[in-house]
Structure 1
Amino acid sequence: MKASGFKIFIVEDDPWYGQILEYHLGLNPDYEVRKFETGKDLLSHLHLKPDLITLDFSLPDMKGDDLYRKIRNASPELPVIVISSQEDIAVAVKLLKMGVSDYLLKDDATKDLLWNSIIRIRENQSLKEEVESLKEELGQKFTFQNSIIGNSASLQKVFTLIEKAIKTNINVSITGETGTGKEVVAKAIHYNSKRKKKNFVAVNMAAIPKELIESELFGHEKGAFTGALTRKIGKFEEAEGGTIFLDEIAELDLNNQSKLLRVLQEREVTRVGGNEKVKLDVRIIVATHQNLAEKVKNNEFREDLFYRVMGLPISLPPLRERENDVLILAKFFIDAFTKDNQIPSIGMSKGAKEKLLKYQYPGNVRELKAIIELAIVMSNEEEIKAEDISFNNIAKEDMFLVEQKSLKEHTRDIIKYYLEKNNNDVMSTAKQLDIGKSTIYKMLQEGDL
């Protein structure tokens, strides 16, 4: 055999026919062809790692299906083409269901059919390798360093939890305000886990009408309902072996919550309109900006589903609590925007940095990105100045100025708002508003809050 090339092993007990196949395939200088006359001889040479095997179904020392099983056990991804003199359709169907790449009958056309089949298999392998390469690039993109930008203490806690999540298949629940990067964290977990070569399937539960949720998640059979013209594979089946990310899980209605619970418990789905149970090996990551525990108390979310999806909880801090990460992210967004638009890189003035650090970012990282991109466009010099930065937010803080109220009433409303934002954490609220914690405790004791 040559030192390199596409390795093809021919298993054929008829020496004359084997020589014909060997000669025919050897006409392609890229093919390395080697011939074996028994299954035992082939198995003893599998360590040479062939790229493809052509297998005579009727061998003197073992049955073709038994030999194929042994090949599959040794090399599950190795393509095998069965060549047989049997015209039994049942045998062909059985072997194809077992996973053989092709089934050819021995006749005058076999050589050409085999040639074409090998070309098709190589093309499929090339596509598969390209997909794997793209997934590898995607995985590199979603390493912690590339996808989650920042080094604040609050973000370091998130990194610690992510590292724990990638080591096991435990379900993960991600909470945080809108725009904090919940899907980015979900992808970072998936693409750094053992499942990274399988699919990451994201589903926004809030974007799907409740009448279509079951079909979208679990699939449907042809004719299951009006408009079901073909079988549809659901998102869970699509994520087989990988991860399904259920964003805005709190938006799921109670009826569909019970159906989701059943799937998570049984680890199998039944398509709408069908009876076949499809086994699942899927990791579950859910996300919400709402308080699921509160929704359970209000009977808006099933308690049993809550405990099923909770798994490892990861709470993402809002941008206003991430200290100097604002400037790190701003630099990242500047570099990305200037590169994508092929314009010179640009800096930030001291005034611009101070302005960014003072803002509260109700839209979090997503809002900062929009602010920076607009500032770059508005800037006419080599750096972004304070006047280039504008905050077009719809934050609730602005509503405090609409009504005519006393200073005490405004103070009460502001403190109440930030207490709610901080989950009633008095210390965080006092620090954020730059007031003494005793002020808040006094208002609580007096019933003003």
Structure 2
Amino acid sequence: MSKKSWRVFVVEDDEWYRKLLVHTLSLNPDYEVTTYQDGASLLADLHKKPDLVTLDFRLPDYSGDHLFDKIKAFDASIEIVIISEQQDVETAVSLLKKGAYDYLTKSEDIRDRLIHVLNKLGQNKELVERVETLQEEVERKYDFQASIVGQSAGIKKVFRMIEKAVTTNLTVMITGETGTGKEVVAKAIHYNSPLKSKTFVPVNMSAIPRELIESELFGHEKGAFTGATSQRIGKFEQAHGGTLFLDEIGEMEISLQAKLLRALQEKEITRVGGTTVVKVDCRVIVATHRNLLDEMKKGNFREDLYYRLFGMPVELPPLRERDKDILLLAKHFAEAFALDSDLPSKAFSKDALQKLMNYSYPGNIRELKAIVELAMVMADGTEIGADDITFAQKDVVTEVLSEELTMKEYQLKIIKLYLKRYDDNIKTVADKLDIGQSTIYRLLKEESFSQ
């Protein structure tokens, strides 16, 4: 049971049965039990908001049906267990359809049956309270004024755009360099919108092999391709009624963009290998670190899809342009790390703050967070000094050549280093290394089979 007391009203005109029910309920210290001999006295006390009413179906002043309707009209969340002298199947079915939790007859085993029902109710109540608590925590976490730290002009503009985005159902396009917090903004929009109680489904387009993207988004039927041993629901269906977040949309192959456009326009999809049209209705938020207008001019992104996605633009400024937000974020990350790691809080020295301000942060907020967490570990006292802050990235060449490996092993190591640097964005890594994406997939697959 929940630690919170559960208020139970017992309505029973038979004194012997009333005492039996009160005794049974009082065995659990979490129950606060109040008794009533008639319906009128119960109705007069409904303002006390009971969690549960055990209702004798035959009372001197009210019929069970009439009293049941009055209780539910006052507060539909009040659970009602009907207790009757007769087992009337038709009446029981009718009341259960109207929302009664259970229908019990006055028999020799009523105590055991009542305890069983109450245990189930208690478990359900605890589960509901837990879900409500988690929902509140999620909403607090993604209160964008709290989760997005900053006071710079650039971030205030982002706040204004989020405020507009949460009140509409327009597609939102979030742009910004890698590490600027695009997914945090997407979640802030979702969890502050009317859809906050629905599902938020994130998809990183750059982390999915090209041949699997269609199945990932739209699902597939059993036997659609080798390895499709069962039906699979895609991300669009998972997000139905909620929000679908397509991160790094600029990495999507142009051959698949037409299918995405159709899904967005028609609000329907067909699973790979299937013929049934499935209706889907979800809000779409997209994000990219690329300039999609440039990609469109190069022929890498469809013009019609671009204008379908454009909707409401939210541009995230790079950290280097956010001035003193750097210091606010650094202090925020230091406090959060201390709390999560059960460490004493540590302040930054003046020199440390100046050093943080002088750095360009190519990895943006994500990099600053890593720098601050390392500094918290490295600082011996209660203050983080300039020497505790490390910016220098490892020299890839020196690190790679520190071991004697085969050429294939060197290739794999370089690929892994670049994947880590560019957040597993295979297309970007392929461009940086001037190799094909298929080469990266092949080497990673060969390694997985050899382990």
Length-normalised TM-score, structure 2: 0.65
CA contact (8 A) 1:9 1:50 kept: no
Q: Shift in Å at residue 183 of structure 1? A: 0.7
The runs of 5 or more residues in structure 2 that have no matched partner are 37-45, 56-64, 66-70, 397-451
The amino acid of 2:174's aligned partner reads: I
User: Which residue of structure 1 lines up, in the alignment, with residue 174 of structure 2?
Assistant: 174
Moved more, 270-279 or 159-168: 270-279
- Cα–Cα, structure 1 residues 233 and 380, in superposed 2: closer, same or farther, change >3 Å? same
CA-to-aligned-CA distance 1:301-357 (integer Å, 9 cap, x gap): 222221222111001000111111111111112222223233332222332222222
**SS of match in other structure, 2:168:** coil
CA contact (8 A) 2:220 2:272 kept: yes
CA distance in 2, matches of 1:326, 1:240: 38
User: Which residue of structure 1 lines up, in the alignment, with residue 385 of structure 2?
Assistant: 384
User: Which residue of structure 1 lines up, in the alignment, with residue 303 of structure 2?
Assistant: 303
The runs of 5 or more residues in structure 1 that have no matched partner are 11-18, 36-45, 56-63, 65-70, 396-449
- Cα–Cα, structure 1 residues 312 and 81, in superposed 2: closer, same or farther, change >3 Å? farther
CA-to-aligned-CA distance 1:350-379 (integer Å, 9 cap, x gap): 322222222111111111112222223333
**SS of match in other structure, 1:244:** strand
Q: Shift in Å at residue 239 of structure 1? A: 2.5
**SS of match in other structure, 1:177:** coil
The amino acid of 1:153's aligned partner reads: A
**SS of match in other structure, 1:314:** strand
Which runs of structure 2 are paired with 1:60-79 in the superposition (5 Å)? none
- Cα–Cα, structure 1 residues 80 and 271, in superposed 2: closer, same or farther, change >3 Å? farther
Q: Shift in Å at residue 86 of structure 1? A: 7.6
The amino acid of 1:330's aligned partner reads: A
- Cα–Cα, structure 1 residues 104 and 234, in superposed 2: closer, same or farther, change >3 Å? farther
Which runs of structure 2 are paired with 1:383-422 in the superposition (5 Å)? 383-386=384-387, 388-392=389-393
CA contact (8 A) 1:346 1:384 kept: no
User: Which residue of structure 2 lines up, in the alignment, with residue 198 of structure 1?
Assistant: 198
The amino acid of 1:390's aligned partner reads: F
User: Which residue of structure 1 lines up, in the alignment, with residue 418 of structure 2?
Assistant: none
CA distance in 2, matches of 1:270, 1:373: 46
Q: Shift in Å at residue 85 of structure 1? A: 7.5
- Cα–Cα, structure 1 residues 272 and 73, in superposed 2: closer, same or farther, change >3 Å? farther
User: Which residue of structure 2 lines up, in the alignment, with residue 155 of structure 1?
Assistant: 155
User: Which residue of structure 2 lines up, in the alignment, with residue 234 of structure 1?
Assistant: 234
CA distance in 1, matches of 2:103, 2:259: 45
User: Which residue of structure 1 lines up, in the alignment, with residue 437 of structure 2?
Assistant: none
CA-to-aligned-CA distance 1:167-206 (integer Å, 9 cap, x gap): 1221111000001010111111112222222222211111
CA contact (8 A) 2:171 2:310 kept: yes
User: Which residue of structure 1 lines up, in the alignment, with residue 327 of structure 2?
Assistant: 327
CA distance in 2, matches of 1:75, 1:124: 18
User: Which residue of structure 1 lines up, in the alignment, with residue 439 of structure 2?
Assistant: none
User: Which residue of structure 2 lines up, in the alignment, with residue 217 of structure 1?
Assistant: 217
CA distance in 1, matches of 2:351, 2:301: 47
CA distance in 1, matches of 2:170, 2:215: 26
Q: Shift in Å at residue 233 of structure 1? A: 3.0
Q: Shift in Å at residue 115 of structure 1? A: 6.9
Give the paired residue count: 381
User: Which residue of structure 2 lines up, in the alignment, with residue 136 of structure 1?
Assistant: 136
User: Which residue of structure 2 lines up, in the alignment, with residue 312 of structure 1?
Assistant: 312
CA distance in 2, matches of 1:273, 1:86: 47
**2:241 corresponds to 1:258:** no
CA contact (8 A) 2:199 2:243 kept: yes
CA contact (8 A) 1:139 1:191 kept: yes
Which runs of structure 2 are paired with 1:41-60 in the superposition (5 Å)? none
CA distance in 2, matches of 1:8, 1:116: 18
Moved more, 301-310 or 226-235: 226-235
User: Which residue of structure 1 lines up, in the alignment, with residue 355 of structure 2?
Assistant: 355
Q: Shift in Å at residue 103 of structure 1? A: 10
User: Which residue of structure 2 lines up, in the alignment, with residue 188 of structure 1?
Assistant: 188
CA contact (8 A) 1:86 1:105 kept: no
Root mean square deviation, CA, Å? 4.9
CA contact (8 A) 1:52 1:79 kept: yes
The amino acid of 2:216's aligned partner reads: E
- Cα–Cα, structure 1 residues 117 and 241, in superposed 2: closer, same or farther, change >3 Å? farther
The amino acid of 1:383's aligned partner reads: I
**SS of match in other structure, 2:287:** strand
User: Which residue of structure 2 lines up, in the alignment, with residue 370 of structure 1?
Assistant: 370
User: Which residue of structure 1 lines up, in the alignment, with residue 427 of structure 2?
Assistant: none
The amino acid of 1:264's aligned partner reads: L
